[in-house]
Amino acid sequence: MTSLSILLILTLSWILYWTVRLLQNYLVARRMSTGIPIIIIPIDHTTRLWSIIDRQCLAFLDRIVPFGLIKRTRLWRYNIRGWEVRDRYFTHRKLGDVYAMVSPSKLWFFVADPDAASEILRRGGDFPRCLKLFEMCNVFGPNLATVERPRWKVQRKVMASCFNETTINIVWSETLSQGKDMLQYWGTPRHETSTSPGEVNTTAKDLRTLSLHVLSQAGFGKSTKFRGHAYKMKEFEHKSDGTEFSSSNDWDCEALRIVLDNCILIMVLGPKFIAQAGLPRRLGRRHLDRIQQACVEFQWHMTAMYEEGKRGLLSSSDIEGASPPMETRFMASLVRASRAGGGGDSDNELTESEVYGNMFMLNFSGHDTIAQVMTFGVFFVAAHPEVQDWISEELRSVLGTRDPEDWSYTADFPRLKRCMAILLETLRLYNPVPLAKWTGDKTAFLTVGKRTIVIPPKTMVCPSYSCLHTDPTYWGGDSLEWKPTRWIEQDGAEEVLKKPKRGTFIPWSEGGYDCPGRKFSQVECVAVIASLFRDWRADPACLPGENLAEARQRVLRLIEEDTAPVLLLQMLHPERAPLVWTRR
């Protein structure tokens, strides 16, 4: 038997196997409840290998299949990560509040009824998290996103203790300090990142740096002077030659960025394969070397911080009147939890692996999620000059001409309603973290409207957040427009934030699994908006032959057309829309 024959038999066997699996899942979906529409897709969009090649594969098919036929198929519409963001409410408007999606590997159940969606999020016992979807976050160890409920309770208790008012106050002051330095950096001519003072094409990367520095100070007691992306890249490239690691945090941000941007590749191949794969340079060896260097670098920094935290906690426990703020930092909480009973052997303690896993999770969720949302928000504001005037009016009214060092978290933050509206409206349209539950090993029952649906075991159950966030029924006929004024209403002479109907706005989830860092993210994002837009304004840099109005429309098209999940939903190429910053 020739090699070609063997290959043909294996291919046909694979196709037959997946066809049978698809048929089995379809029959299960048919039995779920009478009248539920079913969408059939050939490949599950969360499959590991497909997660790496989905966009490249579909782009290739689009090039070779004539007349744009691929774009008219379900393969294009549903077989890509983040399809729900582009779909918004359109599939639900066609099929109703519920529908099933069948693939060879999974059965999905989507719900766009607000009451039912809220029930799914609150009934954690009936609809637990599907841990397989979060395996990519296990790169450095088990963490809050990847462990079963018994360990989750232990870790959740530790993590919840981190987000206290002392920490949030530090977030406020550090964000204002970093924002001031970032504006100064953006206003300085740099030959690698701008053609003129104030023109910046590293907005997203610099916001990532700012967010990491805020987390480093608030969570780990590490204060770092803001330095822009161009300078840090030089240092990281220099360190990539194998020289000794530095204790500086300046280029640690770049190592973390590389880890996060390639997290799916790391999960699929594994760090050991990446380190040992004997690929020639033209087949990606150089890229893998860069990823492996970043993994080693970031692990080294986490180990150094953990050891320093243990020494610091030991010293503070021996000193009467030790600084209370340091005792409330994330690192202190993790160290205390890991050494409470003598080394992590107790069921109520964290193992060292869990400490590293949660340090990575804090860096991921505590800075990358926030940085991506801030990037969307800044570009939206830059494309809407009327919104800039609107928030500047509030900032000047609340903050006056005071220096940022004099802005108060307790007195000023609660009054910045318009700045908060920027965050809420951005999350409404571009929530970086999708919501997904499943039924586990048992059958679940869910009431949707006037009927009760029986959902079989091992079914993914998803509140259709992108539909709920944009359905005109709840958000009006302009629901697909970015319009932060929709969040503000008058209560006498005072402006207050509107409260949407329960279940129609769920960026931080609800119930027992809601995000413990909600206040952290709100304070940081509001502080960034305040520091950037009280005294400055941002406009897109115009291309040759383009006026400012056309440049703003180009930025809005870039947000809509060039956004997709990497690890989180993000703008893929924000550097294609440089911003020009000028003083008011």
pLDDT per position as a tens digit, 508-561: 998 878 888 899 999 999 999 999 999 999 999 999 999 999 999 999 999 999
Residue 274: its pLDDT value, please?
Answer: 72
Residue 195: its pLDDT value, please?
Answer: 53
**Whole-structure pTM value:** 0.89
CA–CA separation, 217 and 490 (whole Å)? 37
Q: Which of 119-133, 146-160, 304-318 is least confident?
A: 304-318
The full 3-state SS of 472-501, as one line of letters, equals HHHHCCCCCCCCHHHHEEEECCEEEECCCC
Asked whether the predicted pLDDT for residue 382 surpasses 60, the reply is: yes
pLDDT per position as a tens digit, 464-478: 999 999 999 999 999
Q: Which of 91-100, 217-226, 320-329, 368-377 is least confident?
A: 320-329
Closest CA to 531 of 402, 430, 411: 402
pLDDT per position as a tens digit, 328-340: 577 878 888 886 4
* Host H or E run for residue 304: helix 285-317
pLDDT per position as a tens digit, 287-312: 788 888 888 888 888 888 888 877 76
Considering the chain, what is the average pLDDT of its residues?
A: 85
Asked whether the predicted pLDDT for residue 281 surpasses 70, the reply is: no
Residue 581: its pLDDT value, please?
Answer: 92
CA–CA separation, 507 and 83 (whole Å)? 17
Residue 191: its pLDDT value, please?
Answer: 41
Asked whether the predicted pLDDT for residue 489 surpasses 70, the reply is: yes
Q: Return the ∠ at Cα 13 (arms to 8 and 19), rounded to 5°.
A: 125
pLDDT per position as a tens digit, 260-272: 777 777 776 767 7
- The mean per-residue pLDDT over the stretch 65-69 comes to 85
Banded pLDDT at 245 (limits 50, 70, 90): very low
- Please report, for the chain, how many H helices and E strands are present, in that order: 25, 14
Q: Which of 48-52, 100-104, 143-147, 252-256 is least confident?
A: 252-256
Closest CA to 474 of 498, 504, 496: 504
- The mean per-residue pLDDT over the stretch 363-383 comes to 91
Query: Higher-confidence residue: 553 or 185?
Result: 553
Q: Which of 128-142, 321-335, 565-579 has the highest mean pLDDT?
A: 565-579
Residue 1: its pLDDT value, please?
Answer: 62
Asked whether the predicted pLDDT for residue 323 surpasses 50, the reply is: no
Residue 325: its pLDDT value, please?
Answer: 47
CA–CA separation, 529 and 537 (whole Å)? 11
Residue 306: its pLDDT value, please?
Answer: 84
> In percent, how much of the chain has pLDDT > 90?
48
pLDDT per position as a tens digit, 417-463: 999 999 999 999 999 988 899 999 999 999 999 899 999 999 999 99
Residue 280: its pLDDT value, please?
Answer: 54
Pairing assessment for the beta strands 98-102 and 38-40 based on DSSP bridges? parallel
Banded pLDDT at 409 (limits 50, 70, 90): very high
Asked whether the predicted pLDDT for residue 371 surpasses 90, the reply is: yes
Burial label for 419, CB within 10 Å (0-12, 13-18, 19+), is buried
- The mean per-residue pLDDT over the stretch 53-62 comes to 88
